[in-house]
Structure 1
Amino acid sequence: MSGAPACGIDFGTSNSTAGWSRPGLPALLPLEGGKPTLPSVVFFHAEDEHVSYGRAALTDYLAGYEGRLMRSLKSLLGTAMIDDHTEVAGRALPFRVLLAQFIGELKHRAEKAADQSFSRAVLGRPVFFVDDDAQADKKAENTLAEIAHAVGLKDIAFQYEPIAAAFDYESQIRREELVLVVDIGGGTSDFALVRLSPERAKKAERRDDILASGGVHIGGTDFDKYLSLASVMPTLGLGSRLASGLEVPSAQYFNLATWHTINQVYSKKSWTQISDIRRGAVDKDKLDRLQNLVRERAGHWLAMQVEAAKIALSDAPQAVMDLGRIAPGETLTLHRPDFDGAIGELVGTVSRTVVALLKDAGVNGDDIDTVFFTGGSSGVPLLREQISALLPQARSVEGDRFGSIGAGLALDAVRKFG
């Protein structure tokens, strides 16, 4: 067993990767169509019980196949939902089994790409699965460990995701640096303040090099959610009035704006509630759009349009959303200030987390050499601006937004397992 190779597994909220560190070869293994990322998505086909994963799952859903799409699976860890189940093709599917199916598929694809079986792995984890609740956080890690063992990983270790990203960056530098790793993933924002150098990289134990780590349960899916609630859900009736003068109930809109609760809107109970609201609504056209969306089971489609708009608004001053699937011929134009306003409070919380981290470490912002950005949402302009303002002397370095953690976990697997 001592000679068995070990891999790194980054099970992400939006995308997942697997790495195997070998001299002279890329660490990340190709998982789908030659690409190193596998979107963390599962689609259960209703007709033939076939299950598709990643980009193929999204393609099947958008092609209109009957079935059930599940995304942001990692968000279940640390919540009461992890011990619950969902209905797929008329059968109860425990969420733990759902996560095991996806992680098992991730492991299988890594092994196929490596032409090598893996029974040892370093798994990435956020600094906090759950904010301000150590017991719930430990339960989330234990749940992930149990799932990893269930899919055939006999020996596992965990590493904080921003520290794994730090190890990836360290493999590229030639002198010592004090680095703040900023990892803005799909579900969490995580940070590590680490001393890195080629010499330090040779050490088996790196605890003394890690000055501080921290995080908060805010990530790219939250940016999606609040952009949707601020700009998109009002077109479906959020914030409008009933004939009684009361505001339209908001629960269905929050479910639609949150990736892992979208499917709840398709229940018979939800349809009855929406129909009752529509009857009493002043602006029935907006509720008609909402009913069209539920009838078409287009919640994930709409969430993908919001996600695409978020990405576009990170590079351009405006983005145009096509609402044609639920309102033929209609579009919605979103502007950068709309996005900034929607996520301003979230980004403020992220910035305060960085300030607290530096204070805990006893480090002045001017002492930091480099800010290493990684994670799929690390390019959000408002977030970049606020963090850069805190660290005006530090240079900004772009990591592989979707690959730095997996590559760093592969390096750590060599350190931990040989």
Structure 2
Amino acid sequence: MSRSIAGFDFGTSNCAVGIMQGKQAQLVKLPEHGNYMPSTLFAPQSEMICGWLYQQLDAQDKAQAFQQARGQQLSASLRALKELKLDGYDEHLSFGQQALKEYLVDPADCYYVRSPKSFLGASGIRERQQQQFEDIAAAMMWHISQQVKQSGQAELAKVVIGRPVNFQGLNSEVSNQQAISILSNAARFVGFEQVEFLYEPMAAGLSYQQQLQQEQRVLVIDIGGGTSDVSMLIMGPDYLATRDHQELVLGYNGERIGGNDFDIALNFETLMPSLGAKLKLASGQPMPIKPFWDAAAINDFPAQTRFYEKDTRLLLQRLLKEPQLSPLKGLLRLSDERQTYQLSACAEQAKIALSEAQTSTVDLSYLIEQLQVDVTQEAYQQAAERLLNSIATLSDDVIAQAGCQPEAIFLTGGSANSPMIKNFLAKRYQAPLISGDNFGSVTSGLTLWADNIFE
């Protein structure tokens, strides 16, 4: 079988693959997902992921590297798969929208991961957790690579993968090394022959510069699902082919702020109060806020772990002895039925609705009978203020690094559609605001770069 060169956007919110068609980068339409696969994975049990991946690789004689890396852990996972079958459970993994559908059938009895990229740079993870992240990333890469083959394209071989400037983590350099190691190992396990990484805002900029007739200094602001990356780039006709891309970077910075964080902020500030977040204890003390934040922070692995721990449940049960704190029953139910992702999805839908409407009504009757919460644009603006200012701080830092003002601002990423974000940036910076393909710019740029560097 022929082997292909591709750009691979392993995104926080969505994954996509691009290949060259003539001189144009084209996104591959994945049979089960379309151009974009939501970055989600469902498994009946977490223990089965390793064994499932091995079985897929082994069926195509590609399991050697993975088998050597996992050893006894693989044996335990294969036993777990066998037990699942005996107990009448499905033995498959699901991805994208199908993963969410299966999670919602019984959230308390499954393993569901949304935006695994958010966790790759997390501080303090143990070796076993890192291996689990490798297995999740590899399972998603494997599924997408098989989707590419089913679409009629050649098997992926030489791939450029996008990366943020900084992954999440307290020590950015250590976090970046950890995340790149996870992605590199995952790519090796699934059989990619060559892998290179390119900063995502640079990739987005590469797509835009193809349109230019003369040199420009462009501030690329890429607001993705989990990260925001800002770069000041020199762009111009044929610069991709004729100039070293590192020489074209005048400044860059990145932080773990993205669409997920806007969902979290809206959730925490406008939905959690209906579950008791702003109530007072009988002693007059404010309600402990940590359980509410941990429940909302779906992109924070330690926070989600804490929320589902026994200590949090005991705290909520103790607080519920005070009659005026009865709304906490909704938060306790959120924990019992493991529905933090569902609540976050409600916040995300409200955020999308508020792009066009002044008010959005969120149905929380699955937590408290007949509970409906009205969220206004003004409340969302207040909830998002800190995040908007953080994006502005990133942009100001990059402008200072570059020592010049941008001649244009190229806005991309899944959250770039937000009128609130566009209006904020337009008021702050006196430069033309250009919107690219908010989801496809990075993938197209990665594909252009892959075509440039690989033979």
- After TM superposition, list the pairs within 5 Å mapping 1:54-203 onto structure 2: 54-64=96-106, 66-80=109-123, 82-83=125-126, 94-130=132-168, 133-203=172-242
Q: Deviations over 1:229-275 (max 9, x none)?
A: 11111111113222233333223212211114446534444333321
Letter in 1 for 2:162: G
CA root-mean-square deviation = 2.5
Are the aligned partners of 1:29 and 1:114 in contact in 2 as well (CA < 8 Å)?
Answer: no
Determine the structure 2 residue equivalent to 1:318.
Answer: 359
Are the aligned partners of 1:83 and 1:96 in contact in 2 as well (CA < 8 Å)?
Answer: no
Determine the structure 1 residue equivalent to 2:279.
Answer: 240
Q: Deviations over 1:177-207 (max 9, x none)?
A: 3322110011111112222233323326323
Determine the structure 2 residue equivalent to 1:22.
Answer: 21
Letter in 1 for 2:376: H
Are the aligned partners of 1:15 and 1:37 in contact in 2 as well (CA < 8 Å)?
Answer: yes
Larger mean Cα displacement after TM superposition, 194-203 or 320-329: 194-203
Are the aligned partners of 2:123 and 2:175 in contact in 1 as well (CA < 8 Å)?
Answer: no
> Could you tell me how far apart the structure 2 residues matched to 1:414 and 1:114 are?
19
2:90 equivalent to 1:48: yes
> Could you tell me how far apart the structure 2 residues matched to 1:93 and 1:157 are?
21
Determine the structure 2 residue equivalent to 1:354.
Answer: 395
2:443 equivalent to 1:400: no
> Could you tell me how far apart the structure 2 residues matched to 1:113 and 1:173 are?
32
Determine the structure 1 residue equivalent to 2:7.
Answer: 8
- TM-score normalised to the size of structure 2? 0.82
Are the aligned partners of 1:312 and 1:319 in contact in 2 as well (CA < 8 Å)?
Answer: yes
> Could you tell me how far apart the structure 2 residues matched to 1:83 and 1:204 are?
41
Letter in 1 for 2:157: S
User: Taking structure 1 as reference, are residues 35 and 6 closer, same or farther at Cα in structure 2, changes over 3 Å only?
Assistant: same
Letter in 2 for 1:164: A
Secondary structure at the aligned position of 2:225 is classed as: coil
Letter in 2 for 1:387: L
Are the aligned partners of 1:83 and 1:94 in contact in 2 as well (CA < 8 Å)?
Answer: no
Structure 1 spans left out of the alignment, 5+ residues: 87-91
Letter in 2 for 1:54: G
> Could you tell me how far apart the structure 2 residues matched to 1:309 and 1:18 are?
29
Letter in 2 for 1:124: G
Letter in 1 for 2:182: T
2:294 to 248, 255, 261: 255
Letter in 2 for 1:158: F
- After TM superposition, list the pairs within 5 Å mapping 1:300-311 onto structure 2: 300-311=341-352
> Could you tell me how far apart the structure 1 residues matched to 2:373 and 2:121 are?
35
Larger mean Cα displacement after TM superposition, 176-185 or 108-117: 108-117
Letter in 1 for 2:28: L
- TM-score normalised to the size of structure 1? 0.89
Letter in 1 for 2:138: A
Are the aligned partners of 1:242 and 1:282 in contact in 2 as well (CA < 8 Å)?
Answer: no
Are the aligned partners of 2:133 and 2:182 in contact in 1 as well (CA < 8 Å)?
Answer: no
User: Taking structure 1 as reference, are residues 269 and 83 closer, same or farther at Cα in structure 2, changes over 3 Å only?
Assistant: same
Determine the structure 1 residue equivalent to 2:409.
Answer: 371
User: Taking structure 1 as reference, are residues 113 and 314 closer, same or farther at Cα in structure 2, changes over 3 Å only?
Assistant: same
> Could you tell me how far apart the structure 1 residues matched to 2:396 and 2:188 are?
37
Q: Deviations over 1:204-238 (max 9, x none)?
A: 63232222222222111111111111111111111
> Could you tell me how far apart the structure 2 residues matched to 1:32 and 1:85 are?
33
> Could you tell me how far apart the structure 2 residues matched to 1:40 and 1:263 are?
20
> Could you tell me how far apart the structure 2 residues matched to 1:305 and 1:129 are?
26
Secondary structure at the aligned position of 2:20 is classed as: coil
Secondary structure at the aligned position of 2:320 is classed as: helix
Secondary structure at the aligned position of 1:371 is classed as: strand
Letter in 1 for 2:245: R
Matched positions, count: 407
Determine the structure 1 residue equivalent to 2:385.
Answer: 344
